[in-house]
């Protein structure tokens, strides 16, 4: 599954299930991606999110 497809699914979920505006859904996805990117690039990670 591509990152684009994952984002589409989560965008739809945030909009429909939680009632987020399009701006809120996009901001949430951007923040989640930034957190995941920082975690993936962390050389000290031990397999868990903190």
**Distance from chain centroid for Cα 5:** 12
Question: What gap in Å lies between CA 47 and CA 2, rounded to an integer?
Answer: 22
Which one, of 28, 25, 31, 24, lies nearest residue 12 by Cα? 25
Contacts of 26 (CB under 8 A, 6+ apart): 11
User: What is the model's pTM?
Assistant: 0.70
Taking a C-beta distance cutoff of 8 angstroms, is the pair 14, 25 a contact?
yes
pLDDT in tens, 1-50: 787 888 899 999 999 999 999 999 999 999 998 988 888 888 777 666 55
Question: What gap in Å lies between CA 27 and CA 29, rounded to an integer?
Answer: 5
Each domain of the chain, given as residue ranges in start order, spans: 3-41
What was the pLDDT predicted at 44? 77
């Amino acid at each position: 599954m591509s990152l684009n497809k994952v984002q589409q699914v989560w965008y739809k979920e945030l909009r429909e299930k939680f009632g987020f505006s399009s701006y809120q859904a996009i901001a949430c996805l951007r923040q989640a991606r930034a957190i995941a990117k920082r975690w993936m690039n962390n050389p000290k990670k031990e397999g868990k999110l903190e």
